[in-house]
Structure 1
């Protein structure tokens, strides 16, 4: 009888997952350097067209096995995902990469609060404290240069965090997609999102082909980085890792994304948040980390009370994003 296959050491699983958090953290700066207010939709068409072809190639025959309900649910999720990405990308054009990465991390606070509202359960005192700390951190973060009104980009990122929460909740609760293959469902979502981006691009009269033709080699490298590293690579690693370790472990490692966004924004993007901004960023990181810990320690439901839906990994493993796809 042959010996059982050796288990993969945990650190060999953790390293690629942390690398996903790093590339996601860098995606805000990459998008900021590529996009302008006029080219956001065209950039997203190009990014998701490249990622969609790669995902469809990976999904292969599984796409043909999807039923009508699964296709409609996937396309609907793709529409919500498109709204998240539009808000995020327009937001990062009008704020710093550091602010963008830290504000969007509030999804990790908003999602359990939304779940509590839907399941009519009261969040723990520890989680409420973590949420308050995170909100206070965002308030200070957006005032790094002195007490002024938050920028339009800051408000767009906050709205993106709220819409991403709706996306995560929909992904976790839609019965039509629970048995759908992850790769096929992601390909359908990407197709739906690309259709929305194309429609917005047509309304704004910015042709993706014209934008692509005007890109320099460095800009093409940035686009491919967003499509291949921040989308395809991230999806494959999440799917691979969650099958070899626990969703909680993957989620915890991916939760370091805002830290990397801040580090990369300050070191490579030239962001200067100032003392108030640095304090606010630290509070956001502490609050979101505390919040994830509080959710993880939530007591199991009583036998006479059904459990609520399980929280997805970051922005749902089977969506291939964290909305960062």
Structure 2
């Protein structure tokens, strides 16, 4: 019982850390250009992951498949972070955390790795999420959505594709998660270095508060959260892990409002409730569908791989 509680506490801590990342990123981008923030975050994450990989050297050998897959995923993850970080710079942290959770219902729609067709109730849950996005984007009433909300919505779509790609690349062969993440951080650092060069002097002379936010994003929201999640999910059920990690958008909204001083209008608050309800409902439907498909496949001896879990928290690999 003590171990189970500790595992639950770690998963909740991961969700809390990821939820807090939106406000941290928004604050950091107020002090530095977005691309400079992304380079710093990737570079510090790469150093952290590289140090951990060096400590484990000899016990886990790198493979070419890991480097190839990690390099491709590094590009797609960088695309997600560009859209998401620019988005959070132009909207509230609460909105960003809620809208990005749309990834949970978008991933099964994009993933075609075997399995039966999704039930109609899943599409109904996705529709609830779509309405929620409209309410969150409208804010004070019906008007054109803000640029930040549109960018975060685009990030959710790209992230869903990224998560589906992770499933495709790792379904048929075992790969070390730390090796994949280390490769992604190195690729991201290389991609963001050229456009961030002009902002490096500002980065070097940034204050302690900005550096603390960058280090928090890199080491806590990325490296620590990734390792903690990997450890914790091995000590609980997939359903329980999904439930606990799925609280991320709730933490994002709570921290944005409680710490960042943001406010949700009545329409946006309704959108927040619908988003959380819709993603949890869709997640539950997809999980039940995937479990039923796997059991049917085993019973009939059918070949194929079950659908990849929709809840790659909205976070996979390098988290924002």
TM-score normalised by structure 2 residue count: 0.90
Q: Give the equivalent residue in structure 2 for 1:58.
A: 52
Q: Give the equivalent residue in structure 2 for 1:139.
A: 134
> Which residue of 240, 256, 281 corresponds with 1:265?
256
Are 1:76 and 2:72 matched, yes or no? Answer: yes
Q: Which runs of 5+ in 1 are unaligned?
A: 1-6
Q: How many aligned positions are there?
A: 311
CA RMSD of aligned residues (A): 2.3
In the TM superposition, 1:73-112 aligns within 5 A as 73-112=69-108
Q: Give the equivalent residue in structure 2 for 1:201.
A: 196
TM-score normalised by structure 1 residue count: 0.88
Q: Give the equivalent residue in structure 2 for 1:23.
A: 17
The C-alpha deviation readout for 1:94-141, integer Å capped at 9, x for no partner, is: 1111110111000001001112x5547421122112111111011111
Change over 3 Å in CA distance of 1:175–1:278 after alignment to 2? closer
Deviation at 1:315, TM superposition (A): 4.9
Could you tell me whether the CA contact under 8 Å between 1:255 and 1:314 is conserved in 2? no
- Which secondary structure does the structure 2 equivalent of 1:136 belong to? helix
- Aligned mates of 2:253, 2:147 — CA distance in 1: 19
Change over 3 Å in CA distance of 1:316–1:222 after alignment to 2? closer
Change over 3 Å in CA distance of 1:234–1:9 after alignment to 2? same
- Which secondary structure does the structure 2 equivalent of 1:65 belong to? coil
Change over 3 Å in CA distance of 1:13–1:23 after alignment to 2? same
Deviation at 1:300, TM superposition (A): 2.5
- Aligned mates of 2:314, 2:25 — CA distance in 1: 22
Q: Which runs of 5+ in 2 are unaligned?
A: none
Deviation at 1:92, TM superposition (A): 0.3
Could you tell me whether the CA contact under 8 Å between 1:172 and 1:316 is conserved in 2? no
Are 1:256 and 2:247 matched, yes or no? Answer: yes
Could you tell me whether the CA contact under 8 Å between 1:27 and 1:230 is conserved in 2? yes
Are 1:300 and 2:293 matched, yes or no? Answer: yes
The C-alpha deviation readout for 1:170-222, integer Å capped at 9, x for no partner, is: 111115983221111211111111111113325xxx333x1322311111111
- Aligned mates of 2:58, 2:22 — CA distance in 1: 32
